[in-house]
């Protein structure tokens, strides 16, 4: 069973966000890039699944649509335990464009599971996974928090309003995972880091695709007013402010 994990390369979660070129572009100066945290969970759990020989997982490929600057991130994925990395050589121009690239690769290679994180830490699109599923015409399960194998069939746990549903799937399925899918991201071990040198990182040309959307400008939120401190011995004041000033009670 082959798994494809889709990786986006995002600024570290503590990054101070800045923009340049008249607010039209994210300013990457001094930014440390990481594997999108949800994608990292997706990959970590996939590697766990592969390591447990009672599961049918045989190969894990990671794919990223990005420029050569994302290669360190892909090599980290190889160090964590992916067997092979694919980079589609292009800026990920919009969600649909990115989905077309990934779907095109999946069509050539065939995977049982194509795994995404629930959103990427930059544009928070939450779109590529669903789009890939639709382009391929295959089922998708989103907000997935667990997966269990029983022979060749898999049961997927998804979060729905107020609880969980368990879905049985067959054939190629797109799953979009969230917190809980893996307990924590795996730390690459020395062997993994060493082997990452020899594992394949293939670069493929992008295919043409229309752009359905375009980002035209970024803005930072308005600076927040200074906090009003409340005397701990006069909490009635807080209640009054919440009901009269903030009007949230």
Partner 1 sequence: MNFELNEEQQMIRQAARDYAQRELIKDVIERDEKAIYPAEHIKKLSELGFLGMLVDPKYDGGGMDTVSYVLAIEEFSKVDSSIGVIISVNNSLVCYGIESFGTEEQKQKWLKPLARGEKIGAFLLSEPGAGSDATSQKTTAIDMGDYYLVNGVKNWITNGNSASTYIVIVQTHKEKGHKGINALLVDKYSPGITVGVHENKMGMRSSDTHSIQFTDVKVPKENRLGDDGFGFKFAMKTLEGGRIGIASQALGLASGAFELATKYAKERKAFGTEIINHQAIAFKLADMATEIEAARLLCLKAAWLKDKGLPFGNASAMAKLYAADTAMKVTTEAVQIHGGYGYVKEYHVERMMRDAKLTQIYEGTSEIQKIVISRAIANDDL
Partner 2 sequence: MSVLVYIENFGGKLKKQNFELASFASKLAESTNSTAKALVLGTINNAEIEKLNQFGIEKIIKVEGESFNIRINKVFTQVIEEVVLKENVSMVLFPDNNTGKALAPRLSVRLRAGFVSGVVSLPESYNPFIIIKRAFSGKAFAKVKINTPTKILSLAINSFGLHEKPVTLKIEYFETQVSFADVPIKMVERKVSENKVSLFDADIVVSGGRGMRGPENWKPLEDLATVLGAATACSRPVSDDGWRSHDEHVGQTGKIIAPNLYIAVGISGATQHVAGVSRSKCLVAINTDSDAPIFEVANYGILGDVQKILPKLTEAFKAFKGD
Ligand X SMILES: Cc1cc2nc3c(=O)[nH]c(=O)nc-3n(C[C@H](O)[C@H](O)[C@H](O)COP(=O)(O)OP(=O)(O)OC[C@H]3O[C@@H](n4cnc5c(N)ncnc54)[C@H](O)[C@@H]3O)c2cc1C
Residues 143-162 touching partner 2, rule: CB under 8 A, are: 143, 145, 155, 158-162
Q: Which residue is nearest to ligand X (CB)?
A: 13
Asked if 77 contacts 195 with a C-beta cutoff of 8 angstroms, the reply is no
Pairing state of beta strands 140-150 and 153-160? antiparallel
Among 45, 50, 76, 87, binds partner 1 (CB under 8 A): 76
Single out the residue of 65, 88, 63, 79 nearest to residue 4, CA to CA. Answer: 63
82: three-class secondary structure by DSSP: coil
d(CA 222, CA 94): 26
Burial of 173 (0-12, 13-18, 19+ CB in 10 A): buried
Question: Per-residue x/- marks for partner 2, 193-212, CB under 8 A?
Answer: -----------------xxx
With CB under 5 to 8 Å by kind, the binding choice for 59 among partner 1, partner 2, ligand X, none is none
Asked if 171 contacts 56 with a C-beta cutoff of 8 angstroms, the reply is no
Q: How far is CA 64 from the centre of its chain?
A: 11
Q: Is 65 near partner 2 (CB under 8 A)?
A: no
Least Cβ distance, residue 57 to partner 2 (angstroms): 19
DSSP state of 172: S
d(CA 213, CA 228): 41
Which is nearer to partner 1, 64 or 173 (by Cβ)?
64
Length of the chain as a residue count: 249
Interacting positions 87-126 with partner 2 (CB under 8 A): 95-96, 99, 118-119, 121-126
Least Cβ distance, residue 201 to partner 2 (angstroms): 27
Among 20, 150, 189, 243, binds partner 1 (CB under 8 A): 189
Q: Which stretch binds partner 2 (CB under 8 A): 8-16, 43-51, 59-67, 76-84?
A: 8-16
Q: Is 66 near partner 1 (CB under 8 A)?
A: no
Q: Is 229 near partner 1 (CB under 8 A)?
A: no
Q: Is 13 near ligand X (CB under 6 A)?
A: yes
Q: Based on C-alpha coordinates, what's the Rg of the chain?
A: 21
Task: Please give the residue ranges that form the binding site for ligand X (CB under 6 A).
Answer: 13, 37
């Amino acid at each position: 069973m082959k798994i494809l994990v889709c990786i986006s390369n995002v600024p570290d979660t503590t990054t101070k966000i800045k923009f340049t070129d008249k607010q039209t572009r994210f300013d990457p100066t001094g930014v440390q890039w990481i594997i999108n945290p949800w994608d990292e969970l997706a990959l970590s759990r996939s590697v766990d699944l592969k390591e447990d020989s009672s599961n049918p997982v045989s190969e894990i490929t990671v794919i990223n649509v990005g420029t050569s600057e994302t290669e360190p991130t892909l090599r980290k994925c190889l160090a964590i335990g992916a067997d092979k990395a694919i980079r589609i050589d292009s800026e990920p121009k919009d969600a649909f464009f990115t989905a077309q690239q990934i779907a095109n690769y999946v069509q050539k290679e065939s995977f049982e599971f194509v795994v995404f994180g629930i959103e990427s830490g930059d544009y928070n699109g939450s779109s590529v996974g669903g789009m890939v599923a639709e382009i391929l015409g295959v089922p998708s399960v989103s907000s997935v928090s667990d997966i269990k194998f029983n022979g060749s069939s898999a049961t997927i746990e998804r979060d729905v309003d107020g609880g969980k549903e368990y879905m049985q799937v067959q054939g190629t399925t797109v799953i979009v995972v969230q917190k809980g899918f893996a307990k924590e991201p795996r730390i690459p071990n020395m062997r993994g880091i060493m082997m990452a040198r020899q594992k394949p990182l293939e670069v493929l040309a992008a295919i043409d695709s229309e752009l359905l959307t375009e980002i035209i400008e970024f803005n930072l939120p308005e600076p927040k007013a200074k906090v009003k401190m409340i005397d701990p011995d006069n909490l009635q004041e807080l209640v009054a402010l919440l009901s009269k000033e903030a009007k949230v009670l």
